[in-house]
Amino acid sequence: RVAAAAVGAPASAPPAVVEAPGGDSGDLGADLAEGLIADADDGRTGLAVVALEPAADPLEVALVLEHVVEARHPGSTPIGILEVVAVSSVAEIRDLLLDPSGADATPFDAAERLAGRLECASVVVLDDLDPDRPTPDARRAVALLAHLAPDARVVATADRASLAPAPLRIGRGRARGLAAGMGW
């Protein structure tokens, strides 16, 4: 729901769960694309917010989804990615990326997945960020985000004005553009 608010999607029913076949993010992207294409072909339009499980690779899902929907007939209803939203917290970024307390406490997988989520985001929502009184950890997290996702908009959950989205415009190659701007 936080991701939906960040892009201006209206409140909706709880999301339908789409499982990755065999845990493969590319297959999940293809399945999502086929579902969106079927919806568009049936006349259903609007915003679709897709929430991924932490194990899914958001960039792989986005790139495959984008490739499949852009391969459609040019006269078809346009389908595209408006935003890739990562929801995290200053505490999570601190604990996994900035100050890991030990190899056993924070497995590499968790840090790698978090970095991957943040790197390919166009919007990063931090649920414990106070933009008026940022803590030293918050300043460090935002500085890291400037390197990981240099073009991402970083907003606080409580800052409703920042959650207001930019104008909605479907552009081709959104996922490829995000991938090209990744900060590592």
pLDDT band at 74 (very low <50, low <70, confident <90, very high): confident
Q: What is the pLDDT of residue 28?
A: 84
* Averaged pLDDT of the chain: 78
Average pLDDT over residues 130-143: 92
**Tens-digit pLDDT profile for residues 78-115:** 888 878 888 899 999 999 999 877 555 555 588 888 88
In the predicted model, what is the mean pLDDT of residues 150-171?
70
Please say if the pLDDT value at position 145 is more than 70: yes
The rounded distance, in Å, linking the Cα atoms of 104 and 89 is 21
Half-sphere exposure of residue 112: CA atoms within 13 angstroms, side-chain side = 6
The pTM assigned to this predicted structure is 0.77
Span 126-154, mean pLDDT? 90
pLDDT at 169 over 70: no
155 versus 177: which is more confidently predicted?
A: 155
Provide, rounded to the nearest whole percent, the portion of the chain with pLDDT above 70.
Answer: 73
Checking if the pLDDT of 121 tops 70, the result is yes
Query: Backbone phi, then psi, for 127, in 5-degree steps?
Result: -75, -10
Q: DSSP letters along 41-63, please?
A: HTT--S----PPPTTS-HHHHHH
Q: Residues 23-55: pLDDT tens digits?
A: 678 888 888 888 888 888 888 777 777 777 777
Nearest to 90 by CA among 144, 129, 46, 64: 129
pLDDT at 17: 61
